[in-house]
Chains A and B, each alone.
Chain A
Amino acid sequence: MPLTAYLIVSAVIFTIGVIGVLIRRNPLIIFMSIELMLNAVNLSFVALSHFLDSVDGQMFVFLVLTVAAAEVVVGLALIVSIFRTRHNIDVDEMNVLRG
């Protein structure tokens, strides 16, 4: 398969992630969409690393995976802590701060 095919799939997945972040109101789903974006980037890095014959891309994939795992930890902890105080995690309800 040509490199373009991989890059197109990656771009499509990334776009799905962006749309998900923009239209969904549940932080968990938004968060999943962000993970989708990160994994789209991983796909393009792996494909590029293979086609360019360089290790940089694969190194990046490991960094991104690690960071994504760390983000899950912090993000879910935040969501749980918010749910404990207001029993509702809809992002439209988070409107105390504005102006």
Chain B
Amino acid sequence: MTFTYSVSPQDWLGIAPIVVLVLMVLLTMSVDLLLPHAGKRSKHSGPANFAVLPIVALVGVLLALAVTIALFFIEHPASAFNNMIGSDNGTLYAYLIILIAGGLGVLLSPAYLKRLNLVHQGEYYALMLLAMTGMLLMAGATNFAIVFVGLEIFSLALYILCSFIDQRPTSQEAGMKYFLLSSFASAFLLYGISLIYAATGHTSFIDIQSFVATHSHGHAPLLLLTGMALLTVGFAFKVSAVPFQSWTPDVYQGAPAPVTAFMSIGTKVAALLAFVRVFGFMLSSVQNDWMPVVWGIAVLTIVAGNLMALGQSNIKRMLAYSSIAHGGYLLIGIVVSGAGQRHIGASAILFYLSCYLFMNIGAFGVISLLERRDNSGYELAELRGLWYRNPWLAGLLAFFLLALAGFPPMVGFAGKYYLFYAALVGGHPELLIIGILASVLGIYYYLRFIATMFMEGREGIRGTGRGESYGTARPEVPVTPTRRPIRNAVPAASSVTAVAERPLPTKVTSPVIRTSEPEPTRELEWMSWLALGIAALGTLVVGIILPFWLPTIQQAAQQLMR
């Protein structure tokens, strides 16, 4: 039982983006210690400056992005550390998606933290970067050990981030639910790994693949079959597929909106990449055993996700159910990856994720500007007539919702088109039909929110100036340019209106929050608007440009499923 492996510089090159992120986590925490702190009581004091830490974190994300892009052009082996983690182009592409999602999540945060007066920013940004690190590890993993470690790194960071607003009971509840259910699912995943280890004697994907291919004769033995079932449970939980979706709406609703925006993409990328590697590549020789199950989960997720979204009157919850439905569409890619068109399935997943990234972060980003401390501000009733109070926000939200519904010029259409095309090529026309019918159903609930924002609530605003919701109209006294010169630099910021201007006196639900909410501030909001602008640009442009790169993505996916 001896084992030797000498690490070469090439190995470190393969995980360079992860190394950069980890170093930036340490730097973020150090900077947090060095910054001057505000407030008298240590419990409530945080760095006086809300802008330094996000910029440090953002620099970290940008550095990691730069390293990832550089790796595309630098000659390096396709996997590092004795097949522990992949560094092929498909993996790097997934890194790009996660890092862009993380960067936008970080950009959305400062205004939100400032407005809600959450002072512990050092922890916040360090945990954001750590969550990204875990996601990169899981997305790149080619060994079950790394799958597990990456999964736990990002899960642990996200438990804390979800319950970050310590005075909001819903946030704590979200963190607790996520923690209990997710560790439960992790244990199942781990037991599945141990059974697969028992059946094959390996934990590396490539070793298991060759073992299964030579020993199984098309059907998995019982031990391997049980392990596959437990793995399916674990992965289905992580991508919030339907029998295991119950945590998703609660966690997405309770968590801070920028965290929701980031995790709704990041966890999906990480879990789906591991899912497609394990099932599409590692277990490809016993595909007849797992394909019906994954097919069933995909159909159930698409149908049930869309059906449950229909009745939601809370947009954050509706988006959570819609993300379940989108996860179902993505599972089509996994079904196809087992149907002999492995690289088409995997490339459809990569392509859809890069489309989904922009529209979903955009939608949650708009919510992060609407959300109030007691987790209100985005109910259907409160969105009434948003167009008349805040045309920019309403217009952007409508734009992102239309993209999510899959209207042609935006990315949602391109992503769905290629995914359904993959279903057709992979020999699953029934998935194409179910997917299209469910998308038609989906249009209803997206349009319902758009109609509410644009067509209702006009009278309430025009009346006494006392709207039925927060901020009545545009603030009559605009922000003085002398105090915040930076606002003039961003054209969109000048039209920011009274978002979360005034807490509703009747809407106070928690006894903790009743203690005089400080006047909401709109400082640093230009960062959120920058993130929304990038997301909107991505939503518009990526759907038009990225299809031309499809051959490249397919090539990358082929390396992923090598």
Interfacial chain B residues near A7, Cβ < 8 Å:
198
Complex partner residue of B148 from A54, A67, A75, CB under 8 angstroms: A67
**CB nearest neighbor in A for B177:** A94
Query: How many angstroms from the CA of A70 to the CA of B154 in the assembled complex?
Result: 12
Query: How many angstroms from the CA of A60 to the CA of B147 in the assembled complex?
Result: 11
Query: How many angstroms from the CA of A56 to the CA of B194 in the assembled complex?
Result: 10
Digitize B174-203: 1 where CB-to-A-CB distance is under 8 Å, 0 elsewhere.
111101100110010011011101100111
Digitize A29-48: 1 where CB-to-B-CB distance is under 8 Å, 0 elsewhere.
01100100110110011001
Asked if A8 lies at the interface with its beta carbon under 8 angstroms from chain B, I say no
Complex partner residue of B184 from A34, A67, A74, CB under 8 angstroms: A34
Asked if A78 lies at the interface with its beta carbon under 8 angstroms from chain B, I say yes
* A-B contact number at CB 8 A: 123
Asked if B241 lies at the interface with its beta carbon under 8 angstroms from chain A, I say no
Query: How many angstroms from the CA of A82 to the CA of B167 in the assembled complex?
Result: 9
Complex partner residue of B512 from A54, A56, A60, A85, CB under 8 angstroms: A85
Residue contact A34 to B183, C-beta cutoff 8 Å: yes
Asked if B3 lies at the interface with its beta carbon under 8 angstroms from chain A, I say yes
Residue contact B180 to A82, C-beta cutoff 8 Å: no
Interfacial chain A residues near B148, Cβ < 8 Å:
60, 63-64, 67
Interfacial chain B residues near A37, Cβ < 8 Å:
184, 187, 191
Asked if B169 lies at the interface with its beta carbon under 8 angstroms from chain A, I say yes
Query: How many angstroms from the CA of A37 to the CA of B187 in the assembled complex?
Result: 6
Complex partner residue of A78 from B3, B175, B193, CB under 8 angstroms: B175
Residue contact B191 to A40, C-beta cutoff 8 Å: yes
Query: How many angstroms from the CA of A21 to the CA of B159 in the assembled complex?
Result: 18
Interfacial chain B residues near A75, Cβ < 8 Å:
159, 179, 183
Residue contact A52 to B317, C-beta cutoff 8 Å: no
Which of these binds chain A: B247-255, B298-306, B395-403? B247-255
Query: How many angstroms from the CA of A32 to the CA of B101 in the assembled complex?
Result: 34
Asked if A91 lies at the interface with its beta carbon under 8 angstroms from chain B, I say yes
A40-B191, A60-B145 are contacts. A81–B166 as well, Cβ < 8 Å? yes
Shortest C-beta distance, A56 to chain B (Å), equals: 5
**CB nearest neighbor in B for A93:** B173
A55-B1, A86-B169 are contacts. A99–B194 as well, Cβ < 8 Å? no
A17-B187, A45-B197, A74-B179 are contacts. A97–B254 as well, Cβ < 8 Å? yes
Shortest C-beta distance, B458 to chain A (Å), equals: 28
Residue contact A96 to B152, C-beta cutoff 8 Å: no
Query: How many angstroms from the CA of A52 to the CA of B149 in the assembled complex?
Result: 23
Residue contact B156 to A82, C-beta cutoff 8 Å: no
Residue contact B184 to A21, C-beta cutoff 8 Å: yes
Digitize B140-171: 1 where CB-to-A-CB distance is under 8 Å, 0 elsewhere.
00001100110010001001100100110110
Interfacial chain A residues near B177, Cβ < 8 Å:
94, 97
- Chain A residues in contact with chain B, CB under 8 A? 7, 10, 14, 17, 21, 27, 30-31, 34, 37-38, 40-41, 44-45, 48, 52-57, 59-60, 63-64, 67, 70-71, 74-75, 77-79, 81-82, 85-86, 91, 94, 96-99
